[in-house]
Amino acid sequence: MLIGRNDGCRRPGSGKRAFLPALLLACAVASGSCLADLKSGLAQFDRSQYTQAIATLKPLAAHGDVSAQYAMGLASYNQLGMKQNLPDALHWFRLAAAQGLPEAQYCLGVMYARGEGVKASQSTAVAWFKLAAAGGNAMAYYNLGVHYAQGEGAYPDLNTALSYMMVAADLGLAQAGEKRDELTQVVGSLRTTAARRAADRMKAAIRRPTPVPLPGSDSASSSAKATAPTHSIQIRN
């Protein structure tokens, strides 16, 4: 059975208005000129106007806006309007992750899995993926399925791997459906039924983002008071 990992962080703009729906969430906590700047910066980012977006969003990120922090992490990682800067990407993703943003937590899992800007640690990657999965990130569920199937950063457990793949597929991730079917053939019908029950419990437990401790960090980052956007991400290969 071949199970491949798709553990990149998607940049926004691949045919979708990636950030604009998130503005509805951001509007609930911002006001006045800050809200106008946030809308303008995220719209620029969505239109691939990265240099302008960075100039607008960086001050907001420094003042704790989670949407802006996440955008700065993407820009730093994906070379969007700047040279790639992995330490900066780690910094911004950590700040956003500390506020409970699943997509930032997912990106940190990717960076630990790949050893990008940090010492590689599959167990820390799994910890971040679990936090992101608890917030409903489909790619985090997928990668947890891979880690448990292959015994990387977690004890090998095909039942648990299947449950994670089931949730990822239920959340609309096409490649997860393929891996779910492969695992189903391996574990058999009885274990598949048990995995389905476990997957349903996982889905029922998906939560709204909340501030969390930081796996792999010596100290927790300070949190701010903006609400997190919810679109998914992937790094360019």
Q: What is the pLDDT of residues 92-147, one digit of tens each?
A: 999 999 999 999 999 999 999 999 999 999 999 999 999 999 999 999 999 999 99
How is the chain split into domains, by residue range?
Answer: 31-99, 105-208
Split at pLDDT 50, 70, 90, the class of 10 is: low
| Residue 28 in this model has a pLDDT that exceeds 60 | no
Q: What is the pLDDT of residue 20?
A: 41
Could you tell me which residue, 216 or 162, shows the higher pLDDT? 162
Distance CA 84, CA 7 (A): 18
Please state whether the predicted TM-score (pTM) of the whole model is above 0.75: yes
Please report, rounded to a whole number, the percentage of residues in the chain having pLDDT higher than 90: 68
Secondary structure, 3-state, 140-186: HHHHHHHHHHHCCCCCCCHHHHHHHHHHHHHCCCHHHHHHHHHHHHH
Q: What is the largest CA-CA distance in the chain?
A: 58
Residue pair 216/105 in contact (Cβ under 8 Å)? The answer is no
Q: What is residue 4's DSSP assignment?
A: -
Write the DSSP string, 91-134: HHHHHHHHTT-HHHHHHHHHHHHHTSSS---HHHHHHHHHHHHH
CATH topology of domain 105-208: 1.25.40
| Residue 12 in this model has a pLDDT that exceeds 60 | no
Helices 32-46 + 66-78 axis angle, to 10: 30
Contacts of 182 (CB under 8 A, 6+ apart): 1, 2, 3
Contacts of 84 (CB under 8 A, 6+ apart): 76, 77, 78
**How far out from the chain centre does Cα 16 lie?**
17
Taking only the tens place, the pLDDT of each residue in 30-87 is 445 677 888 899 889 889 999 999 999 999 999 999 989 999 999 999 999 999 999 9
**How far out from the chain centre does Cα 165 lie?**
16
Q: What is the pLDDT of residue 36?
A: 85
Task: Report in angstroms the alpha-carbon separations of 214 from 61, 67, 90, 102, 174.
Answer: 18, 18, 12, 12, 30
